[in-house]
Amino acid sequence: MNRLPVAERREQLIEAALAVASRDGIDAATVRAVAAEAGVSLGVVHYCFQDKDELLRAMAHAITAANLERSLGELPVEKEDPESVIEGIIDALWTGIKESRGPQLLSYELTTSSLRHSELNQVAIEQYRGQWAAAEQVLNLVERSAHVGWSVPRGTLARTIVAVVDGFSLAWLVDGDSEAARSGLQGFGRFLATMAVPAPVDADAAATPA
């Protein structure tokens, strides 16, 4: 067996755990199954992760990071209206969701499983904190691209975005109606655009002679 640095070995084991859980469900992602998937001994898994709880937390972080990368997508550059910017982001977001059904389902499994086990409650909390932070990053990108601000606090909008995306994604996992989910998200995007207001002018910049 190759001797990898601990950080690389952890990444390998997280990928193995995600593969097992996406294929067979979260309950199947035992330490023994993850070791077999990665082709390592049980001792290697226990060396890299204190217990299954720590491994599940690492899986949740990995899923959140991957979702963030997909969410940002190809942001339209220098669009004048926020609706066009938001529409482009939603298209990129929905494409990423459609192409990752297994990880999407696993994300919900991680959340519900952690809520049923008090020792894992932190997993669900960390998942949503990560998603709220990701949504705030997307809102910040809209601000910079469309030169707008928001009529309500950014944190409130971020929580709303996560709740709406969760709802449409879960419905799509149930009924498989991709067009209905995309249409619903785009409708929400148009509503979100109504929350945009012109960005305040920088007084110092305005006073500087051309």
| Residue 42 belongs to domain with CATH number | 1.10.10
Residue 205 has pLDDT above 50, yes or no: no
Confidence at 109, pLDDT banded by 50, 70, 90: confident
Least confident of 11-25, 61-75, 149-163: 61-75
CATH number of residue 94's parent domain = 1.10.357.10
Q: Is residue 209 part of a domain?
A: no
pLDDT of residue 111: 86
Note whether residue 4 is domain-resident. Answer: yes
Top-ranked range on mean pLDDT: pick from 63-77, 92-106, 180-194: 180-194
Q: Cβ distance 67 to 107 under 8 Å?
A: yes
Mean pLDDT of the region 118-129 = 80
Do 162 and 101 share a domain, yes or no? yes
Mean pLDDT of 187-194: 96
Contacts of 153-157 with CB under 8 Å at 24 or more apart are 157/192, 157/195
Alpha-carbon gap, residue 5 to 28, rounded angstroms: 27
Is 51 in contact with 17 (CB distance < 8 Å)?
Answer: no
Same domain, 125 and 179: yes
The structural domain count of the chain equals: 2
Q: Indicate the pTM of the whole model.
A: 0.78
Categorise residue 174: left if φ over 0, alpha if ψ from -120 to 50, beta otherwise.
alpha
Are 59 and 3 contained in the same domain? no
Q: Within this chain, do residues 75 and 41 fall inside the same structural domain, yes or no?
A: no
**Based on the domain organization, do 70 and 118 belong to the same domain?**
yes
Q: Give the DSSP H or E segment for 197.
A: strand 196-198
pLDDT at residue 1 greater than cutoff 80: no
DSSP 99: T
Report which secondary-structure segment, H or E, holds 150.
strand 148-150
- Residue 97 and residue 129 in one domain: yes
Q: Is residue 205 part of a domain?
A: no
pLDDT category at 203 given cuts 50, 70, 90 is very low
- Check whether 210 has a pLDDT greater than 50: no
